[in-house]
Amino acid sequence: MKLFADTANLNKIREVAELGVLDGVTTNPSLMAKEGIKGAEEIKRRYIDICNLVDGDVSAEVFATDFEGMIREGKILSSLHENIVVKIPCTKDGIRAVKYFYDNGVRTNCTLVFSAGQALLAAKAGATYLSPFVGRLDDISGDGIELIAQIAEIYDKYDYETEVLAASVRHTMHIVQCMDAGADVATCPPELILALLNHPLTDSGLARFTTDAQKMT
C-alpha cells in the first residue's frame, strides 16, 4: 500500500519524505487555508514546492464547483508539474470533469466519496484515484473501512484501474485497517505516519541493547 501525506505543510512533508517511504501528497482547500496561503500565485508556488519535495503524485484540488470552472482550474493546476493530479469533488459536474480530463490525458483524484455508487461513476469516468473519506463516515456512525473494502473488491472484480486512496484517516489503526481492506493508497496526516513507529517494546529493547553495547566499548 502506498503512503501519501495529507497536508500542505512543507516542513511536515519534508520530515516524512526524509524517511524515504513517502509515495505522494494530497491537499484540499482546508489544508491549504490552514497554512495561511493566499492568492493564486501563492497557491501555485506551494504546489510546485510540494512537488519538489516528494517524488510522487501530488493532488491539487479545484476550488470551482461548476464544470467550466473545474476544467479551467484543472488545466492550470496540471500544467504546474508533471506529478500534479487534479482533485475533483464527486458531484455531477465533477464526474463530467473527471471524464473530460481522462479523455485529455490529465490524471484526476475524485474526492468526497462516501458510497460504492459514487465509486462506480468515478471509475467509469476514468478517475486515476478515488478518495473515500474513512473518518468522516465513522463520524456519523458509518463504517469507513467497510466502504474501502467494498470498493476495493468491486474494482478488483470489474478490473477498474482506478486506485482506492483512503482519505480522512484519523489514527494508526485506520492505516492498518486500510491495508487489510485492500486500499491502494492511504493518505494520512504526517504525524500518523511517524506514529506507526511507536512501540514501547522497541523503546525498551533498544535501551537494553544500547546499555549492553556500552559494556563492550
Residues within window 163-182 making contact with ligand G3P, judged by CB under 6 A: 167-168, 170
CB of 72 to ligand G3P, least distance (A): 23
Is the Cβ–Cβ distance between 83 and 57 less than 8 Å? yes
**According to CB under 6 A, which one of 185, 187, 192, 193 is a site residue for ligand G3P?**
187
Q: Which is nearer to ligand G3P, 37 or 167 (CB)?
A: 167
Pick the catalytic residue: 87, 124, 157, 215?
87
The closest of 23, 168, 137, 186 to 177, measured between CA atoms, is: 186
CA distance 70 to 210: 56
Helices in the chain by DSSP H: which ranges?
Answer: 10-17, 29-34, 39-53, 67-80, 92-103, 116-125, 134-139, 144-157, 172-181, 190-195, 200-215
Active site residue 99: no
Residue 26 in contact with ligand G3P, rule: CB under 6 A? yes
Q: Which is nearer to ligand G3P, 135 or 182 (CB)?
A: 135
Among the listed ranges 50-58, 67-75, 130-138, 140-148, the one in contact with ligand G3P (CB under 6 A) is: 130-138
CB of 16 to ligand G3P, least distance (A): 15
CB of 24 to ligand G3P, least distance (A): 12
The closest of 203, 152, 154, 198 to 177, measured between CA atoms, is: 152
Is the Cβ–Cβ distance between 81 and 44 less than 8 Å? no
**According to CB under 6 A, which one of 23, 136, 142, 154 is a site residue for ligand G3P?**
136
Residues 6+ apart with CB under 8 A from 188: 3, 4, 5, 6, 169, 174, 175
Residue 142 in contact with ligand G3P, rule: CB under 6 A? no
Among the listed ranges 26-34, 69-77, 94-102, 117-125, the one in contact with ligand G3P (CB under 6 A) is: 26-34
The closest of 127, 132, 70 to 97, measured between CA atoms, is: 70
CB of 184 to ligand G3P, least distance (A): 15
Residues within window 189-208 making contact with ligand G3P, judged by CB under 6 A: none
Residues 6+ apart with CB under 8 A from 195: 172
Can you give the binding site for ligand G3P, defined by CB under 6 A? 6, 26, 28, 31, 133, 135-136, 167-168, 170, 187
Which residues are known to be catalytic? 87
